[in-house]
Amino acid sequence: MSTALASIASSLSRKVLSNYVGHRPQIYFRSFTSCILLPSINKFSVTKPNQFKNLKMSSEKPKVIFVLGAPGAGKGTQCSNIVKTYGYAHLSAGDLLREERQRSGSEFGELIEDCIVNGKIVPVAVTCSLLENAMTKCFAETGTNKFLIDGFPRNRDNLDGWTLQMSEKVDLQFVIVFDCTEEVCVERCLKRGAAGSGRTDDNLESLKKRFNTFYNDSLPIIEFYDAKNLVRKINGVGDADVVFESVQKVFKEIKD
């Protein structure tokens, strides 16, 4: 881990801890650098922190599918198709982080932007809490308890944090991985940038860093799930409709 990242992580820990002095911690998780106590970050917005505990007692656990793949592999595009056809709610970790970055008063805005531009991964305390809050809010508003979690977990820190905070509360169905060449992915992201995505990472410099992170940090997570026979790999090269046909074959497995 780079020194810069370690210092961001430890400053995040200090900031979060200092914000919660006197509050009762609700979750325990390992940071990059040390073991710390954190509260559920219900300060981010909206939620009733124990809603899933209640849900677990009265009904089924929420179902979760992780959707992974390189930048531009087509995760978001195929998630939209899955939402329309199978009724899952789509939670993009990247979108939630971009939203949090824009939230006035967010103390994580700068940290998030630095990570996004440089292809680094935001500490799991931030991302996992945004995801849990979004799941709780979505369930409260729509009753949906089937979630596509797009672009997470991306590194060991994400996996460890999720395992501690969420794995007992949800039922992980499988992990869809879109397999796409770097060349095609880069071309798609640059095209998306040129078309006005407004994303600060749809440029060659950021993409090089994002791919390094994908190869070094995210592939081992895919391998971890593959060893558990949870990965469903889909060829992401080619027309989006053709890719979706392969997605549908994977979903048939759930219905059968």
Ligand X SMILES: Nc1ncnc2c1ncn2[C@@H]1O[C@H](COP(=O)(O)OP(=O)(O)OP(=O)(O)O)[C@@H](O)[C@H]1O
Which residues in this chain contact ligand X in the complex, by CB under 6 A? 69, 71-77, 94, 151, 188-189, 192, 239-240, 243
Q: Is 122 in the site for ligand LLZGTKA7 (CB under 6 A)?
A: yes
* One residue of 8, 65, 116, 222 binding ligand LLZGTKA7 per CB under 6 A: 116
Picked from ligand LLZGTKA7, ligand X, none, the partner binding residue 115 (CB below 5 to 8 A depending on kind) is: ligand LLZGTKA7
Q: Which x/- pattern over 73-92 shows residues binding ligand LLZGTKA7 (rule: CB under 6 A)?
A: -------------------x
Reference 61, options 49, 53, 72, 73; nearest CA is: 53
Q: Which is nearer to ligand LLZGTKA7, 40 or 158 (CB)?
A: 158
Please check if 76 is assigned to a binding site: yes
Q: Which is nearer to ligand X, 171 or 205 (CB)?
A: 205
Picked from ligand X, ligand LLZGTKA7, none, the partner binding residue 116 (CB below 5 to 8 A depending on kind) is: ligand LLZGTKA7
Asked if 144 and 158 touch (Cβ cutoff 8 Å), the reply is: no
Please check if 69 is assigned to a binding site: no
Please check if 75 is assigned to a binding site: yes
| DSSP code string of the chain | --HHHHHHHHHHHHHHHHHTTTSPP-EEEE-SSSEEEE---GGGSS--TTHHHHHHHHSPPPEEEEEEESTTSSHHHHHHHHHHHH-PEEEEHHHHHHHHHHSTT-TTHHHHHHHHHTTPPPPHHHHHHHHHHHHHHHHHHH---EEEEET---SHHHHHHHHHHTTTTSEEEEEEEEE--HHHHHHHHHHHHHTT---TT-SHHHHHHHHHHIIIIIHHHHHHHHHTT-EEEEE--S-HHHHHHHHHHHHHHHH-
Q: Which is nearer to ligand X, 75 or 145 (CB)?
A: 75
Q: Which x/- pattern over 18-47 shows residues binding ligand LLZGTKA7 (rule: CB under 6 A)?
A: ------------------------------
Site for ligand LLZGTKA7 in 130-159 (CB under 6 A): 151-152, 154, 158
Q: Which is nearer to ligand X, 169 or 192 (CB)?
A: 192
Q: Tokens for 200? A: 């600060």
Which residues here bind ligand LLZGTKA7, judged by CB under 6 A?
71, 92-94, 97, 115-116, 119-122, 127, 151-152, 154, 158, 201, 210
